[in-house]
Structure 1
Amino acid sequence: MGKPVLLSVDDDPGVSRAVARDLRRKYGGDYRVLRASSAAEGLEALRELKLRGDPVAVLLADYRMPEMNGIDFLEMAMDLFPRARRALLTAYADTDAAIQAINVVDVDAYLLKPWDPPEEKLYPVVDGMLKSWQETPDPAVDGVKLVGHRWSAPSFRARDLLARNAVPYTWFTVDEPEGQRILAAAGAGPEDIPVVVTADAKVLLHPSESELAAVAGLAVEPREMFYDLVVVGGGPAGLGAAVYGASEGLRTVLVEREATGGQAGQSSRIENYLGFPDGVSGSQLADRARRQAVRFGAELLLTRDVVALEAHGPKRVVRLDDGRVLAAHAIVLATGISYRSLGVDGVDDLTGRGVYYGSAMTEAVECTDRDIYVVGGANSAGQAAVYLSRFARSVCLLVRGDSLEASMSAYLIEQIAGIDNISVRTCCTVAGAQGDGHLETVTVQNANTGERETLPASHLFVFIGGAPRTGWLDGAVARDEHGFIPTGPALLSDGRRPPGWAPDRDPYFLETSLPGVFVAGDARSDSVKRVASAVGEGAMAVTLVHRYLGER
């Protein structure tokens, strides 16, 4: 945020220069002095300052200006900067109008032209306005500003993308005054949301994820076209592969479709990860791993989806959703899994508007004093329930099975049992979700009796099962009937190697049916669904990549 601004508006060039000169003489060290030659120019400057998040302390406007007089200008300026102090510059003949403006339009003062000497006629008035402004200054708003609707799915996705990629931003709704002022400064309306304003005042209307990532300073364009190693997926396994690949001298690029961290990055608290006896949030762990990978020289390419894998002789090539291709000596697939859709009436229409897949930590504060539901019986659901219980009036954990013991760690079960506002309903499923524009009720069905009950709900967080993100690999590598990727010994059938296998050896432990392409983490068949094992497989995959490269 820059220095507070003192803006003078006068169509007389001589007067305009004199005002700016006198203001700079006394206030230039602590304030930025700007001048405009017309009301329209002044309003344009104020819109730019609003978009940049710069504070405006004092406005001085000439009463008699063509097209718009000073009173009308100050009225419009109040819409953008209601806390700025306001004064009219008037000739002696206009003092009655100036006094009326003070009484009717909330102008703070008037200054007669000429004001010589300024020490007697200008500075005392400005000093008084500055003192008043300093008591109630404009709130500081740094970095990215995001304006959207509370129950808008695109607005939620924009907030979630920024938060998960650790991009600082300030959120405003279209219903609050400051959000309306930013929309006015951007020349946008509620139909344009989400509206994003960057730190350098660039405006984006309902941007795509890639557009938003680019202006937020995230890398979306590859620096090279050929690498030693391409890692697909930015969860713990992918970050582990990127850290070890780059640290061992491989030119490494990690391609991630959303944000680094994967499902683990959305976890509110991971308490069984080695080396963190007090626990660590998934976002913190992902941020540390991301910074570590970058420090070793890995390139991170975000909000880019990989849509195809091809073999071109010794090269392994991945094709991105924007048509670009990246070639490498070896590939590590760490695409992880995604939560399965509930697939019941009403859920799809309300996703992002009360129904969320994953913990959606940006929504935690909005759960304050509300009744919410978490669907799932594994650790991710339990961690979310514990975290959200700090905000919500009540949290109900809906579990398909007859107990939590089969799928949740004992430490989490003990925590949940000790939190008064968490309840657990077993043997039940969600049969529907209802609401006008946002979630209002959920229908819960007893899995044994089929009995249904409709309950009030403001939020529904879903953590059920997981489907591997491997559909784009169809025909490129072998997959099992569930879409997971078999590797190493699992590819051997009666001692025979996979069809088309060229090397004179068996596939390495994490190697797929395509030599030089490895899998780490949850997308691998029979993997252990834990953060520590995913990181370990990412490191192991790099060791096997080195072994593969040594054959060439």
Structure 2
Amino acid sequence: MTQAASPARTVILTVDDDPGVSRAVARDLRRRYGEGHRIVRAESGEAALEALRELKLRGDQVAVILADYRMPQMNGIEFLEQALDVYPGARRVLLTAYADTNAAIDAINVIDLDHYLLKPWDPPEEKLYPVVDDLLDAWRVSDYRPVGACKVVGHRWSARSSGVREFLARNQVPYRWYSSDTPEGQRLLSAAGQDGERLPLVVTPDGTPLVEPRDPEIAAHVGLATTPTSEFYDLVVIGGGPAGLGAAVYGASEGLRTVLVERSATGGQAGQSSRIENYLGFPDGVSGGQLTDRARRQAAKFGAEILTAREVTGLEVTGASRTIRFSDGSAISAHAVILATGVSYRQLEAPGLAELTGCGVFYGSALTEAAACQGHDVYIVGGANSAGQAAMYLARGAKSVTVLVRGSSLSASMSHYLIEQIGEAPNISVRTGTVVESAHGDGHLEQLTLRDVESGHTELVDAQWMFVFIGAAPLTDWLGETVLRDDRGFILAGPDMTPDGQPPRGWELDRPPYHLETNVPGVFVAGDARAESAKRVASAVGEGAMAVMLVHRYLEQS
């Protein structure tokens, strides 16, 4: 039975490294389902994942994915596992030879495989179509119905336009981008009664125009939770990076009424990483976005509330209650608090950079800008893992990537595996002993002045894109004098507060602070905001889990 056409056709995607087989599968699918569905085919797992990410960004829906098992570099099971992160509701089919049936059966448990088909699938009327018909029917009655995409109209070289796109992308909100000088951009501006002077314009899926919106306003209109459902919780987790998400998962799964509060988007700095390759359990690596999305869904599954675009401005102690104040004047309270606020990239101090931030100069990976870097010369400032991961990611499409390092080598702060990868990349070069002296451009970055640290010699280079990773500063100023911090702003906890064995300031209990407990009983710290932390994703997740264990111990003795 031919599927009825629909206004927004869903996608059936097929991937096979054999071009002949790939065309044959797509041909059979198009013959049966082409009227009501878009048939997208790819010839490698990487190409298919790239297609899925583009479809996700445009707000398109993928109903069924068919993948060949025996593909080089990335086999069908590995591909479907990653595809699950992009489209968790898509039905998954593995195409296998008879010899691979055991692998297919194992995949039913590993990736929740919906079906496997033996090659050849001829005749499709008997072996292929009935399977796909059933999967499409199951997809239609599932919870993954099409979700409309936001439309964003802005200027290419606008810091706020870039910020809105980054906010939507990191929160997994589908959107479509239109430059304000394009016909479609002009049409949307006219429909919203705007002349283009006030940008960006965000048009929500229900057609509501938001002019120069701030993140909380966007969040409230696109379905992100911004308002707590209760005034009192067992546990408030502040910060949605790996430590905060780890704490939310373990807190909620162990029965604590848990709310996680994030000022921008879950994932923190790790969530912006293009590829994390040294995290336990992911031998082929995982993007920060994929890891974040899994953790967020996991926390929600256990019942944790996740509030987005809420800025915390104060922590107050009233008896056994710990109260969190928000920037809008509202507040929530809890028995215990875990501070997992993480860090932000330090600003590079050089003439011209402040004016060009968001207009060619970016702090962090800014993955939404990667597509625009295609064919351009890109500069990266920094020598730690985050800089190396960004270099490898941007090198896929950039004409060249130049890593600028103040020190004499990368080995002091970058993992060995990344140094090796950078050394093997033909379009990545590393300039050691080099700093950015100044930045130049009219409205957007056009040139950089580089200085050799040893000789003092300067050089003017053309540059439209620069990404900065030069260390991090803790996001803890809002704590004021309530919680003890070191001279750099990192939060002190446990034995780090009491090197002389004396109780910390204001401590009134007859026990010493627990390992991750601050000078305020019942207030704990986890992750990068903690003084002397390891600054690694795995250790942050571990500290989040450990902090929940200590919260239980605190609650039992309170």
Partner of 1:9 in structure 2? none
* Whole-Å separation in 2 of the counterparts to 1:364 and 1:342: 21
Deviation per CA, 1:227-252: give whole Å up to 9, x if none: 10000000000000000000001111
1:389 and 2:395 aligned: yes
Specify whether residues 164 and 191 from structure 1 end up closer, same or farther in structure 2 by C-alpha distance, changes over 3 A only. Answer: same
Partner of 1:86 in structure 2? none
**Paired residues for 1:163-174 under 5 Å:** 163-174=169-180
* Whole-Å separation in 1 of the counterparts to 2:439 and 2:379: 11
Partner of 2:443 in structure 1? 437
* Whole-Å separation in 1 of the counterparts to 2:243 and 2:461: 39
The one-letter amino acid of 2:407's match is G
**Paired residues for 1:457-476 under 5 Å:** 457-476=463-482
Partner of 1:539 in structure 2? 545
Q: Which of 219, 237, 255 is matched with 1:231 structurally?
A: 237
Q: Which of 176, 181, 192 is matched with 1:186 structurally?
A: 192
Partner of 1:145 in structure 2? 151
Partner of 2:528 in structure 1? 522
Aligned 8 A contact 1:220 1:303 in 2: yes
Percent of matched pairs sharing the same residue? 63
1:428 and 2:395 aligned: no
Question: Which SS does the other structure have where 2:197 is aligned?
Answer: helix
Deviation per CA, 1:252-285: give whole Å up to 9, x if none: 1111111000000000000000000000000110
* Whole-Å separation in 2 of the counterparts to 1:167 and 1:542: 30
Deviation per CA, 1:102-130: give whole Å up to 9, x if none: xxxxxxxxxxxxxxxxxxxxxxxxxxxxx
* Whole-Å separation in 2 of the counterparts to 1:198 and 1:181: 15
* Whole-Å separation in 1 of the counterparts to 2:6 and 2:329: 41
The one-letter amino acid of 1:512's match is T
1:419 and 2:425 aligned: yes
Q: CA deviation at 1:141?
A: 11
1:288 and 2:280 aligned: no
Aligned 8 A contact 1:141 1:170 in 2: no
Q: Which moved more, 1:416-425 or 1:447-456?
A: 447-456
Question: Which SS does the other structure have where 1:363 is aligned?
Answer: helix
* Whole-Å separation in 1 of the counterparts to 2:328 and 2:277: 39
* Whole-Å separation in 1 of the counterparts to 2:429 and 2:181: 34
Partner of 2:260 in structure 1? 254
**Paired residues for 1:321-400 under 5 Å:** 321-400=327-406
Partner of 2:491 in structure 1? 485
Partner of 1:63 in structure 2? none
* Whole-Å separation in 1 of the counterparts to 2:181 and 2:397: 23
Deviation per CA, 1:466-525: give whole Å up to 9, x if none: 111111112111111111111111111422111221211110000001110000000101
1:297 and 2:297 aligned: no
Aligned 8 A contact 1:376 1:399 in 2: yes
* Whole-Å separation in 2 of the counterparts to 1:357 and 1:296: 34
**Paired residues for 1:154-169 under 5 Å:** 154-169=160-175
Aligned 8 A contact 1:345 1:433 in 2: yes
Q: CA deviation at 1:3?
A: 4.3
Q: CA deviation at 1:192?
A: 2.0
Aligned 8 A contact 1:269 1:280 in 2: yes
Partner of 2:505 in structure 1? 499
Q: Which of 213, 219, 222 is matched with 1:213 structurally?
A: 219
Question: Which SS does the other structure have where 1:432 is aligned?
Answer: strand
Question: Which SS does the other structure have where 2:334 is aligned?
Answer: strand
* Whole-Å separation in 2 of the counterparts to 1:326 and 1:428: 48
Q: CA deviation at 1:350?
A: 0.6
The one-letter amino acid of 2:252's match is A
Question: Which SS does the other structure have where 1:536 is aligned?
Answer: helix
* Whole-Å separation in 1 of the counterparts to 2:186 and 2:402: 36
Question: Which SS does the other structure have where 2:351 is aligned?
Answer: coil
The one-letter amino acid of 1:157's match is G
Deviation per CA, 1:59-87: give whole Å up to 9, x if none: xxxxxxxxxxxxxxxxxxxxxxxxxxxxx
Question: Which SS does the other structure have where 1:395 is aligned?
Answer: strand
Task: State the superposition RMSD in angstroms.
Answer: 1.7
Deviation per CA, 1:13-60: give whole Å up to 9, x if none: xxxxxxxxxxxxxxxxx9xxxxxxxxxxxxxxxxxxxxxx9xxxxxxx
* Whole-Å separation in 2 of the counterparts to 1:228 and 1:467: 29
* Whole-Å separation in 2 of the counterparts to 1:146 and 1:274: 37
* Whole-Å separation in 2 of the counterparts to 1:156 and 1:216: 18
Partner of 2:453 in structure 1? 447
Q: CA deviation at 1:422?
A: 0.4
Moved >3 Å (runs of 4+) = 1-4
* Whole-Å separation in 2 of the counterparts to 1:330 and 1:285: 26
* Whole-Å separation in 1 of the counterparts to 2:148 and 2:544: 37
1:276 and 2:269 aligned: no
In structure 1, runs of 5+ residues without a counterpart are: 5-29, 31-52, 54-139
Deviation per CA, 1:182-209: give whole Å up to 9, x if none: 1122211211211111111111111011
Task: Kindly name which structure, 1 or 2, has the bigger radius of gyration based on alpha carbons.
Answer: 1
* Whole-Å separation in 2 of the counterparts to 1:3 and 1:375: 46
* Whole-Å separation in 1 of the counterparts to 2:297 and 2:147: 26
Question: Which SS does the other structure have where 1:210 is aligned?
Answer: helix
Deviation per CA, 1:428-463: give whole Å up to 9, x if none: 111111100000011111111222111100100000
Question: Which SS does the other structure have where 1:323 is aligned?
Answer: coil
Deviation per CA, 1:383-433: give whole Å up to 9, x if none: 000000011101000011100011000000000001111000001111111
* Whole-Å separation in 2 of the counterparts to 1:273 and 1:524: 20
Q: CA deviation at 1:176?
A: 1.4
* Whole-Å separation in 2 of the counterparts to 1:326 and 1:175: 44
Aligned 8 A contact 1:399 1:427 in 2: yes
* Whole-Å separation in 2 of the counterparts to 1:472 and 1:392: 39
Q: TM-score, normalised by structure 2?
A: 0.74
The one-letter amino acid of 2:412's match is A
Q: Which of 407, 410, 424 is matched with 1:404 structurally?
A: 410
Question: Which SS does the other structure have where 1:429 is aligned?
Answer: strand
Aligned 8 A contact 1:520 1:534 in 2: yes
Q: TM-score, normalised by structure 1?
A: 0.74
The one-letter amino acid of 2:481's match is G
Question: Which SS does the other structure have where 1:181 is aligned?
Answer: helix
Partner of 2:322 in structure 1? 316
Partner of 2:79 in structure 1? none
In structure 2, runs of 5+ residues without a counterpart are: 9-35, 37-58, 60-145
**Paired residues for 1:15-54 under 5 Å:** none
Q: Which of 199, 202, 206 is matched with 1:196 structurally?
A: 202
